[in-house]
Structure 1
Amino acid sequence: MEKRNITLAITMYNRKELLEVCLNWLREISEVNRIILVDNGSDDGTADILPTMGYDYIVFDEGKQGYGTVWNAIVDNFQLDEIVVFMDMRYIPGKNCLAKLSEAVSVNGNGVAGPKSNGFRGVQYLSLDKVEDMLALEEQLIREKTECVYEKVVGIDAGMWAISREMLEKNGKFNEKLIEPQNVLVDYELKMIKEGNHAIVCDDAITFDLYFGAGNSGAAETNNQNDREILKDNWNMNYFNRIPNSNLTDLIVEDIKAEFHVLEVGCDLGATLLEIQGRYPNSKVHGLEINGAAVNIAKYLVDVKEGNIEEENVPFEEKFDYIIFGDVLEHLRDPQKIIWFCKRNLLKEHGHIIASIPNVMHISVMQQLLNGRFEYQDMGLLDRTHIHFFTYYEILLMFQEEGYTMEEIGSTTMNLTEEQEKLEMKLLEISQNVEKYMYDTYQYVVKARS
């Protein structure tokens, strides 16, 4: 593996106690040529100790800044090495992590690369309980001499990511209107994809999240809403899904070498299709998307075409083994007609529809109704663009009436409040032909055979 010098830009906001832990760990990693410490408006005294650490540093003493501003300050104020790794102080990389990421972004066409971690989601998630687990896994990978697998994705987690200096210069400035790091990176990656580069996950690069489970603050959630409006205006899209829906992809059970065709209706940027292609290299994945702006990005990643299935506008010649509707059927004027159309025109014999469908009977909705409310939102169960609403029985009826056999129907749930748990018990006392899971279920995930 060719050694490349790395600049490590470490951002921090409070949690002063983690800084020495992180730096002590990094002193053992030889690839790090330069460390830049960036305090983003901490109020716990972090800024006061940075001058004593012996590293280059930036302090935003006027308060917390958006990460577009923070990352631009790093690029503008320092001479960076060939490879730059941006990371939050809460992460500590495995002994080989930075070298693996450096190698990954040096491959032609790779724009940014991310590791796997206990603190990430989707294809970047790795189950690790303690630092020793990370070290043991790295040793195992070295013993097995496993060839590194680069998995193409729509976008990577902003907690730790690598990019070449050349790509930074090519892709230009980060958007300083955006606040949260993940949103800044999403915006940057979309620009990069349109230039023919892409994001990848490096399977044998591993990092450990020291602060796993901390979650977002209320301020972060507010910023996400503000950022979302900016992203919508910039890209003319309502959703920016970088994480594949594993609840759907897990329902595809094939031999790893199998050849089959998949169509995802409403594929957005193609994250779920990329996940299927990664699991099954011989699969042929295709996307149908009504939003031309999303198509103009996703087409650089997978075979995506613009079309409206409600107008029976599906510009593909082949028939499909699987058709995926990930949170789509509830947006259609006549979802049952579309199920009928798929069976007769798009699915192969004994092909499958796989779908995730919000449950309007979820206890949070029932709670609203009992208080005289039914408040639409931009996202979630009461997304204002939902036209149809489903319960368990309505889903079964829709597929059965069109001649499908329901092979699996699972559910996703979320934590309930004590008040919601008590309400469920009261509702079950007066309900008929209803079980507790029908109130617990946030979404149903179904697999139906034609």
Structure 2
Amino acid sequence: MKTSIVILTHNQLDYTKLCIESIRKFTVTGSYELIVVDNASTDGTISWLNEQGDIRTIFNESNLGFPKGCNQGIAISTGDNILLLNNDTVVTERWLEQLTTALYSEDSVGAVSCVTNNCSYAQKISTNYNNLEQMQQFAAEYNVTDPTKWEERLKLIGFCYLIKSTVIDRIGVLDEIFSPGNFEDDDYSLRIRKAGYKLLLCKDTFIHHFGSVSFGEMSAKYSQILRNNARKYENKWGFSPLYSQHIRMEVINLIDEPSDMPINVLEVGCACGGTLLEIKNRFKNSNLYGIELNEKAAEVAKIIADVQPENIENDGMNYEEGFFDYIIFADVLEHLYDPWNVLINIRKYLKPTGKLLISLPNIMHHSVMSDLLVEGNFTYAEAGILDRTHMRFFTLKEIQRMSFSTGYNINHIGGVSTGVSQEEEIFIDRLNKLGETDLRAQFGTYQYIMSSSKNLLYDIILTIMDFKDQPITIVEKLRDYNIQDILSMVNVLFKDDDYSKTEVLNLLGVVHFENGEYKRVLPFFEQAHLTDMINSEVLYNISYFLYFIGEVSAAEEYRNELRKIDKQAHEDLSEVVKEMVISF
């Protein structure tokens, strides 16, 4: 089996030499052919290439860009596989053998890549070498074939991209609309997957990557090229290549389960399924579900998950209640009209022990405060998206209130921070002096990441009236909750219904009294009275209880109020009090 290694050059001769010398040293002779396509180098690269006897070359009179140059190399290749390799890489021991092993591990695998020291999209690993000699020592120990370290991906970064020739024959070559370069690998990855093939990232194989050498000469134009090609990609496929393929590692890291545990995971706003696919890599027995309104992105996510085009703001989804171990809202809630209602409605689909994983933007981030207070503007760039139409923003306290009011306990909350310059640090200090509490951490947090579980108190209070004939059951259900939390939950659940709130609070006072929980009685009766000050039943009960515990003066005040609104109840209470042998 032979691999055609296609390398593009545009100056940077020293890097090219390092790359090709490493290929010769660490790749089995006869297992590859070298094809170099030069895009009008002027630094001696052409002369050097002409001196090499083992390289097939193409010399372009002008810089035709990366996609076009790769296609030229592919056109003259003779290998069973094509390897697109950047000239700013240095390969290592067993690199190609291991990549080829993964490529042919299944018929369904269409292309593979490796990890490196300098790369985006989580293809970078931590290293501690200081020179290329140490790098090769590191790689020699690292590069050991291990199929458990192969991960399926939505896309592979094109610095080292090994593809079966049969796949190229089927789907065609790189799309040259992405010249001079960037997003052609995103595009090609998607085309491979839509053709029914898998992409594997081989985390058992490492090569060195200097990174962006070719584009370094045109760094002033680089950002514009990225924006232009991102738009081309979105126009072609119907979704953003930046947002829709993102892997939310910080959210996935909150999943705390054994790796072999069968878990049901729903991601709301799953886009193309990058996060779900990474969950599958970590939890092999997971069952993946998604909700995505962008039909084009949903088509991609459906390759690996059961994806529905549900509008999450409509109550009632096609899932069993109590089905999910995890429900993920990553950069979603802030875009909803009523996130509180969505969180309430989604509760029923979580298992009793299920977790809600959420990321939310922080309005107190110093960049927002600076725009607002210094510039008089209000902008917030989230995940590269500048359009804030219908976006909501949250403080830490608001997140905590929203969680409690929708029936959740926050088990963990952390933050994603951005780098802070010296000038920004000074601004944060000035902001912090405006209040009495140290809020530096909140001013430095760009986004909050949290894990929440069902607050069972929410369900207990919501169904409390179903157990009104079972007072001991109510008392037992509430025994482990403090009074203030119970009162807060009652206020949350019945904030717009004073009648029901009063009824529940009165019941709670009665059942605790009947079961001898005297220390917990009065707060319920008092709150019930504050909610409805002319409710004769509440006035009767609170007065009776105060007499019972010997608080005669306070009891008299409530009994007098009762007389004004319900004379019969007042007389009944008076008779009962007499029987208690209490002197009036």
TM > 0.5 fold call: yes
Q: 2:450 and 2:70 mapped to 1: Cα distance?
A: 42
Q: 1:355 and 1:251 mapped to 2: Cα distance?
A: 10
Question: Which residue in 1 is equivalent to 2:470?
Answer: none
Question: Which residue in 2 is equivalent to 1:380?
Answer: 384
Question: Are the structure 2 counterparts of residues 396 and 39 from structure 1 closer, same or farther at C-alpha, using a change threshold of 3 Å?
Answer: farther
Question: Which residue in 2 is equivalent to 1:232?
Answer: 234
- Tell me the CA shift for residue 180 of structure 1: 6.2
Identity of aligned residues (%): 28
- Tell me the CA shift for residue 438 of structure 1: 1.3
- Tell me the CA shift for residue 220 of structure 1: 2.2
**One-letter amino acid of the counterpart of residue 108, structure 1:** D
**One-letter amino acid of the counterpart of residue 191, structure 2:** K
Question: Which residue in 1 is equivalent to 2:431?
Answer: 427
**One-letter amino acid of the counterpart of residue 58, structure 2:** I
- Tell me the CA shift for residue 90 of structure 1: 1.8
Question: Which residue in 2 is equivalent to 1:283?
Answer: 286
TM-score w.r.t. the length of structure 2 is 0.70
Question: Are the structure 2 counterparts of residues 46 and 334 from structure 1 closer, same or farther at C-alpha, using a change threshold of 3 Å?
Answer: farther
- Residue 329 of structure 2 is aligned to residue 334 of structure 1: no
Question: Which residue in 1 is equivalent to 2:73?
Answer: 74
Question: Which residue in 2 is equivalent to 1:406?
Answer: 410
Q: 1:408 and 1:285 mapped to 2: Cα distance?
A: 23
**One-letter amino acid of the counterpart of residue 273, structure 2:** G
- Tell me the CA shift for residue 270 of structure 1: 0.8
- Tell me the CA shift for residue 410 of structure 1: 0.9
Question: Which residue in 1 is equivalent to 2:4?
Answer: 7
- Tell me the CA shift for residue 437 of structure 1: 1.7
| Stretches of structure 2 lacking an aligned partner (at least 5 in a row) | 455-584
Question: Which residue in 1 is equivalent to 2:255?
Answer: 252
* Greater strand fraction, Structure 1 or Structure 2: 1
201-210 or 159-168, which deviates more? 201-210
Q: 1:368 and 1:12 mapped to 2: Cα distance?
A: 44
| Stretches of structure 1 lacking an aligned partner (at least 5 in a row) | none
**One-letter amino acid of the counterpart of residue 206, structure 1:** F
**One-letter amino acid of the counterpart of residue 100, structure 1:** Q
Question: Which residue in 1 is equivalent to 2:81?
Answer: 83
Question: Which residue in 2 is equivalent to 1:296?
Answer: 299
Please give the secondary structure, in 2, of the residue aligned with 1:373.
coil
Task: Report if the CA contact (8 A) 1:118-1:212 is conserved.
Answer: no
345-354 or 355-364, which deviates more? 355-364
Task: Report if the CA contact (8 A) 2:320-2:349 is conserved.
Answer: no
Question: Which residue in 1 is equivalent to 2:575?
Answer: none
Task: Report if the CA contact (8 A) 1:158-1:182 is conserved.
Answer: no
Q: 1:312 and 1:13 mapped to 2: Cα distance?
A: 57
* Greater helix fraction, Structure 1 or Structure 2: 2
Moved over 6 A (4+): 212-216
Question: Which residue in 2 is equivalent to 1:104?
Answer: 102
For 1:144-293, what aligned pairs fall within 5 Å after superposition? Answer: 146-147=146-147, 149-179=149-179, 181-211=181-211, 217-240=219-242, 241-293=244-296
RMSD: 2.6
Please give the secondary structure, in 1, of the residue aligned with 2:100.
helix
Question: Which residue in 2 is equivalent to 1:27?
Answer: 24
Q: 1:191 and 1:323 mapped to 2: Cα distance?
A: 29
- Tell me the CA shift for residue 403 of structure 1: 2.4
Aligned residues: 442
Task: Report if the CA contact (8 A) 1:112-1:198 is conserved.
Answer: yes
Q: 1:185 and 1:365 mapped to 2: Cα distance?
A: 34
419-428 or 319-328, which deviates more? 419-428
Q: 1:69 and 1:160 mapped to 2: Cα distance?
A: 17
In the TM superposition, what whole-angstrom CA distance separates every residue of 1:155-194 from its partner, at most 9, and x where no partner exists? 1111111001111111113211113644111112222222
23-32 or 222-231, which deviates more? 23-32
TM-score w.r.t. the length of structure 1 is 0.90
In the TM superposition, what whole-angstrom CA distance separates every residue of 1:274-323 from its partner, at most 9, and x where no partner exists? 11111111221211111111111221122222222112363333621111
Please give the secondary structure, in 2, of the residue aligned with 1:276.
helix
In the TM superposition, what whole-angstrom CA distance separates every residue of 1:215-259 from its partner, at most 9, and x where no partner exists? 973422211111111111111113554442110111001112212
Q: 1:436 and 1:214 mapped to 2: Cα distance?
A: 41
Task: Report if the CA contact (8 A) 2:152-2:200 is conserved.
Answer: yes
Task: Report if the CA contact (8 A) 1:138-1:204 is conserved.
Answer: no
Question: Are the structure 2 counterparts of residues 315 and 293 from structure 1 closer, same or farther at C-alpha, using a change threshold of 3 Å?
Answer: farther
Question: Are the structure 2 counterparts of residues 252 and 134 from structure 1 closer, same or farther at C-alpha, using a change threshold of 3 Å?
Answer: farther
Please give the secondary structure, in 2, of the residue aligned with 1:17.
helix
Please give the secondary structure, in 1, of the residue aligned with 2:183.
helix
Question: Are the structure 2 counterparts of residues 61 and 377 from structure 1 closer, same or farther at C-alpha, using a change threshold of 3 Å?
Answer: farther
In the TM superposition, what whole-angstrom CA distance separates every residue of 1:368-401 from its partner, at most 9, and x where no partner exists? 2221223476953744345211222222221122
Q: Which has the higher contact order (CA 8 A, sep 6+)?
A: 1
**One-letter amino acid of the counterpart of residue 366, structure 2:** I
- Tell me the CA shift for residue 14 of structure 1: 3.9
